[in-house]
């Protein structure tokens, strides 16, 4: 005869699954910086597989330089060489302004593929995925800056300042580009189609670039257009770029540019983070 022993069930055992412990997102500055730099590196590594992204950054400034110098240089300045000296610092500005559109398009594409949903599940700071993307794009703009100066030098452009001033011009342009990228980033996290981001971004960038002193002097324009050109931040950035590369007044243009950059960051970084939190 077989005897089966039944063990009594343990008392007071709660078999209901408990809440999953969430990993706190550390937000001290050192951690935020480390997370941001890691995702910046991710953004740069992507260029190995998407090297075609560099085509716009290298060919676009070359095309604009050739087109405007040799089509309009004689009519505007009377000499293509003189116009090249006037135009190239502006082409530098225009190139990074147009390139910032890619930041919004890239963010919109990544968000539609679920990449940022995975970032949200990681124990990283909230701003790191966005800041890493923006900073990576700004570093990518160095390719555009190099192509502008190299091709301009081949055509006959000459610096009339020292290397420190030229480096300051590049730094100022990149600082403003970083701020402007947050404007486009807001479009990237709020719109659902990359084409929409691209269309709206270019609608903003064309009045900023062509409605400035980038291609022609302000005093040659009609009064109503001068009013817009004088308050356009691209005008100030272009003036500072010209002064630092070919000589001329710099301080006022540089200060106003930095004020614009700080204002854009103060307004659009929080707005972008809020829109990013709502969408993810």
DSSP the chain: ---PPPPPPPTT---SPPPPPPPP----HHHHHHHHHHHHHHHHHHHHH-TTHHHHHHHHHHHHHHHHHHHHHHHHTS-HHHHHHHHHHHHHHHHHHHHTHHHHHHHHHHHHHTHHHHHHHSSS-TTHHHHHHHHHHHHHHHHHHHHHHHHHHHHT----S-HHHHHHHHHHHHHHHHHHHHHHHHHHHH-S-HHHHHHHHHHHHHHHHHTSSSSS-GGGS-HHHHHHHHH-HHHHHHHHHHHHHH-S--HHHHHHHHHHHHHHHHHHHHHHHHHHHHH-
Residue 14 pLDDT: 42
| Average pLDDT, integer, range 251-266 | 96
The answer, yes or no, to whether residue 208 has pLDDT greater than 60, is yes
Residue 239 pLDDT: 95
Residue 89 pLDDT: 94
Please give the share of the chain, as a percent, with pLDDT higher than 90: 45
Residue 269 pLDDT: 93
Q: Which residue has the higher pLDDT, 114 or 179?
A: 179
Mean predicted lDDT score pLDDT of the chain: 84
Please give the share of the chain, as a percent, with pLDDT higher than 70: 87
pLDDT band at 111 (very low <50, low <70, confident <90, very high): confident
Q: Which residue has the higher pLDDT, 15 or 163?
A: 163
* 44-79 residue pLDDT tens: 777 666 666 677 778 888 898 998 998 888 777 778
Residue 280 pLDDT: 67
| Average pLDDT, integer, range 193-198 | 90
| Average pLDDT, integer, range 13-22 | 39
The answer, yes or no, to whether residue 158 has pLDDT greater than 80, is yes
The answer, yes or no, to whether residue 26 has pLDDT greater than 70, is no
Residue 23 pLDDT: 42
Q: Which residue has the higher pLDDT, 31 or 239?
A: 239
Residue 39 pLDDT: 80
Q: Is the pTM of this model over 0.95?
A: no
* 223-256 residue pLDDT tens: 899 999 999 999 999 999 999 999 889 999 999 9
């Amino acid at each position: 005869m077989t005897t089966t022993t039944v063990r009594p069930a343990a008392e007071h055992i709660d078999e209901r699954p408990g809440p999953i412990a969430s990993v706190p997102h550390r937000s001290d500055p050192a951690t935020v910086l480390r997370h941001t730099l890691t995702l910046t590196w991710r953004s740069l590594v992507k260029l190995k597989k998407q090297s075609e992204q560099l085509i716009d950054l290298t060919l676009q400034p070359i095309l604009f330089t050739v087109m405007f110098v040799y089509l309009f240089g004689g009519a505007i300045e009377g000499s293509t060489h003189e116009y090249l000296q006037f135009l190239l610092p502006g082409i530098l500005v225009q190139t990074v302004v147009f390139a910032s559109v890619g930041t919004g398009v890239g963010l919109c594409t990544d968000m539609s593929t679920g990449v940022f949903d995975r970032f949200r599940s990681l124990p990283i700071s909230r701003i790191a995925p966005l800041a890493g993307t923006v900073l990576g794009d700004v570093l990518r703009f160095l390719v555009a800056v190099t192509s502008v100066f190299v091709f301009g030098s081949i055509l006959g452009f000459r610096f009339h300042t020292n290397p420190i001033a030229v480096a300051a011009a590049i730094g100022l342009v990149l600082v403003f580009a970083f701020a402007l990228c947050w404007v486009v980033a807001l479009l990237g996290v709020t719109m659902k189609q990359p084409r929409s981001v691209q269309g709206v971004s270019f609608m903003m960038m064309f009045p900023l670039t062509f409605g400035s002193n980038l291609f022609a002097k302000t005093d040659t324009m009609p009064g109503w257009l001068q009013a817009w050109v004088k308050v356009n931040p691209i005008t100030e950035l272009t003036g500072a770029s010209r002064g630092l590369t070919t000589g001329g007044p710099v301080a006022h243009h540089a200060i106003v540019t930095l004020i614009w950059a700080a204002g854009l960051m103060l307004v659009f970084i929080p707005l972008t983070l809020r829109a990013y939190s709502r969408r993810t």
